[in-house]
Structure 1
Amino acid sequence: MKITFLGHAVFLIESKKSIIIDPFISGNPAFPIDFQLPQIDYILVTHGHGDHIGNTVELSKKFNSTVISNFEICNYLQKKGVKNVHPMHIGGSKEFDFGKLKMTPAVHGSGIIENDEIIYGGNPGGFLLKMEKSIYHAGDTGLTKDMEFVKGVDIALLPIGGNFVMDVDDAVKAVEIIQPKIVIPMHYNTWDIIKADAEKFKILVEKLDVQCKILKPGEWLEV
């Protein structure tokens, strides 16, 4: 299994199938310019904000991908011409051909901004993927005790940028709760408002005997 960080909260997971999470590509200053996406089988969208729903419509049409998100976002995407959607909601789980997927709680917003209007985007969430390894993408979230339900995952992808999401200190507390084998920080340094010190995060996390992998956009981890 190969996990590639593509800046902000975008991750490409390549295993039996290719999965991209929160495909914010156009307008993403952290997206690696020369990176070429492979065939994308599934697109996972944690919530409706533009820096997460991103290029979902275009990619789903280009690759004939199946989009997995909450019911409201799937309904919105269908109106945009997306043919293949699989709606879920918080706490729901489903077996797919790549493994088992569960939607997890996130403490955040989910409004979709269009023509200066805010469209209801349902509840924000995260994703717990159980494949060869278990991967938890927390989505945009503050620290929450709900993270106890994903305790012991192999790999946790956690925001550390503060302001809109957990800061470094709260993300360290999240690691204490989750106790993953490996943690990868995300959602930081895309813009100044979410500037964070990933090296400080790494030092604090590794004091907990958890391995921290800081990936630059375009770098990957093979597990």
Structure 2
Amino acid sequence: MNITYYGHSCFGVEIKGRKILFDPFISPNELAKNIRVETVEADYILISHGHGDHVADAVAIAQRTNAKVICNYEIGLWLEKKNVKNIHSMNIGGKVKLDFGNIKCVAAQHSSGLPDGTYGGNPMGFVIESSEGNFYYAGDTALTYDMKLIGDYRKIDFAFLPIGDNYTMGVDNAIIACNFIQCNQIIGMHYDTFESIKIDKLETLAKFERAGKKLTLMKIGETRATQDLN
């Protein structure tokens, strides 16, 4: 399994030769200015919620690649109006079996307005199950006790957690989330893009280390194999 970081909360994960893209926000992100969005590949696009910093490039990439978009029902309707054809709408608690593995939608505590002001449905996170490993993509969320269900439900090999605070949980709550999901291998997201979510990287890494957790902060444009996270 390979992971590519495109900035903010946007990651590409390759599983069994299939390319899964999470929350595509690239072209408006000044920190990702060296990423050519027109070259980003996807077989599936997973959208956790409707905010612009998670859907900005979703329509363009979906139309160019014909990737299947996995999202909630309301975002699916919004995408249909924008002439995106390949959509699989879901909701919290639902699970779908695909050619690379399974996607289960789980709760996220956040808001979800779309860029045009329309209602974006309930925000979600995703648990991905595959023969190459299981992982949790939290999306934008506060710390919630529902996360304990994820740790009880499946062995999670690694997780993408927001750590920027202000709009989502911050570092201290993310460390608690590690305990809830029973996973100590974390990839940080939703930090540094805006002034209000900037973090002290050295302090953040030290906090995770003191708690017995491994936090990886990937460079934008970097690709890593999951075995290199250890």
The Cα of 1:145 is off from its aligned counterpart by 0.7
Distance 1:108 1:154 in 2: 24
Question: Could you say if the C-alpha distance between residues 137 and 92 of structure 1 is closer, same or farther in structure 2, counting changes exceeding 3 Å?
Answer: same
Q: Secondary structure at the match of 2:115?
A: strand
Higher share in helix:
2
Partner of 2:102: 100
Task: Name the count of aligned residue pairs.
Answer: 220
After TM superposition, list the pairs within 5 Å mapping 1:15-164 onto structure 2: 15-16=15-16, 17-31=18-32, 33-34=34-35, 37-114=39-116, 118-131=117-130, 132-151=132-151, 152-164=155-167
Q: Which runs of 4+ in 1 moved over 6 A?
A: none
Compute the TM-score of the two structures, normalised by the length of structure 2: 0.91
For 1:195 and 1:7, how far apart are their aligned partners in 2? 13
Indicate the residue corresponding to 1:13 in structure 2: 13
Residue of structure 1 aligned with 2:169, choices 166, 170, 174: 166
Percent identity over paired residues: 43
Query: Is the 1:6–1:30 contact (alpha carbons within 8 Å) kept by the matching residues of 2?
Result: no
Give the counterpart letter for 1:12 in structure 2.
G
The unaligned stretches of length 5 or more in structure 2 are none
Q: CA RMSD in A?
A: 1.4
- TM superposition shift of 1:48: 0.3
Give 1:175 deviation, angstroms. Answer: 1.4
Deviation track 1:73-114 (CA, whole Å, cap 9, x = no partner) reads 011101110000000001111111110001111110001131
Task: Give the Å deviation of 1:181.
Answer: 4.0
Q: Tell me, which stretches of 5 or more residues in structure 1 are unaligned?
A: none
3-state DSSP of counterpart to 1:112 = coil
CA distance in 2, matches of 1:174, 1:31: 28
Q: Structure 2 CA distance, aligned partners of 1:129 and 1:32?
A: 29
Deviation of residue 176 (structure 1)?
A: 2.1
